């Protein structure tokens, strides 16, 4: 057996995969060839090292979880649709209904109420142009309303210290100076 043949067979030899006749041939060769013998030993050492490699431990609880997940029945199409409806369509339809309600009832509930009692400009004009009843027409002719003096708010009263306005005929556009000593 040549080294080339031996190299091809040294792996199966180490692994016990050779037939008896081939195994004897390889053994005969590596007994005389140092390189092939070392190659066989390297392969053995590598396998020996790999055999020492451990795997992490898994608890029974974890195995139970894996089994439960693996044996869970796949959802049917109907279940998938129902699940999708539950997840998306129901909230979406609820929101749409809420929007419709808000549009319909919003102005009635929260709209401005003054429009209902404020007369329009046309109504006001019509009201002013209409003839007053006789009783109110007499009062309107007097400068002062019937029933007494004109009440003025304090802010509207003339300030005695304020410069007096001249009559329209005397006005020159300026104010009369105030005589503080007076």
Partner 1 sequence: MFARYRERVFRVAYRFVRNRDDALDITQEVFLRVYQRLEGFQTHSKFYTWLYRITVNRSIDFLRRRKGQPLPGLDASRAEPSGRTAPGGPQALAEENELLAILHDEIGKLSQKHREVFILHAFEDLSYKEIAAVVGCNLGTVMSRLFYARKRLQEALAARGIAPPSGSRGCEQP
Using CB under 8 A as the criterion, which residues of the chain lie in contact with partner 1 when the complex forms? 7-8, 11-12, 15, 17, 27, 30-31, 37, 40-58, 62-63, 66-67, 69-72, 74
Burial of 53 (0-12, 13-18, 19+ CB in 10 A): exposed
Indicate the residue among 62 and 176 with the shorter CB distance to partner 1: 62
Cβ of residue 87: shortest distance to partner 1, in angstroms?
A: 23
Cβ of residue 12: shortest distance to partner 1, in angstroms?
A: 6
Indicate the residue among 74 and 111 with the shorter CB distance to partner 1: 74
DSSP for 90-137, written as a single string: HHHHHHHHHHHHHHHHHHHHHS-SHHHHSPPHHHHHHHHHSPPPHHHH
Cβ of residue 25: shortest distance to partner 1, in angstroms?
A: 13
3-state secondary structure at position 56: coil
Indicate the residue among 15 and 138 with the shorter CB distance to partner 1: 15
The contacts of residue 176 (CB under 8 Å, 6+ apart) are 163, 164, 166
CA distance 71 to 68: 5
Cβ of residue 110: shortest distance to partner 1, in angstroms?
A: 55
Indicate the residue among 58 and 85 with the shorter CB distance to partner 1: 58
CA distance 178 to 115: 49
Cβ of residue 71: shortest distance to partner 1, in angstroms?
A: 6
3-state secondary structure at position 89: helix
Helices (H) then strands (E): counts for the chain: 9, 0
Indicate the residue among 74 and 154 with the shorter CB distance to partner 1: 74
């Amino acid at each position: 057996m040549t080294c080339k043949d031996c190299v091809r067979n040294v792996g199966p030899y180490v692994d016990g995969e050779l037939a008896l006749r081939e195994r004897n041939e390889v053994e005969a060769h590596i007994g005389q060839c140092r390189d092939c013998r070392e190659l066989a030993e390297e392969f053995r050492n590598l396998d020996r090292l790999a055999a020492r490699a451990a795997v992490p431990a898994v608890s029974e609880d974890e195995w139970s979880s894996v089994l439960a997940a693996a044996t869970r029945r796949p959802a049917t199409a109907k279940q998938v649709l129902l699940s999708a409806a539950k997840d998306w369509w129901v909230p979406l339809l609820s929101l749409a209904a809420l929007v419709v309600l808000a549009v319909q009832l919003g102005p009635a509930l929260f709209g401005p109420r003054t429009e209902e009692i404020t007369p329009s400009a046309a109504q006001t004009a019509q009201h002013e142009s209409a003839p007053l009843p006789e009783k109110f027409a007499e009062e309107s002719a007097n400068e002062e309303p019937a029933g007494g003096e004109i009440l003025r708010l304090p802010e509207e009263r003339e300030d005695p210290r304020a410069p007096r306005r001249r009559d329209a005929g005397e006005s020159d556009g300026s104010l009369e100076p105030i005589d503080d000593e007076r």
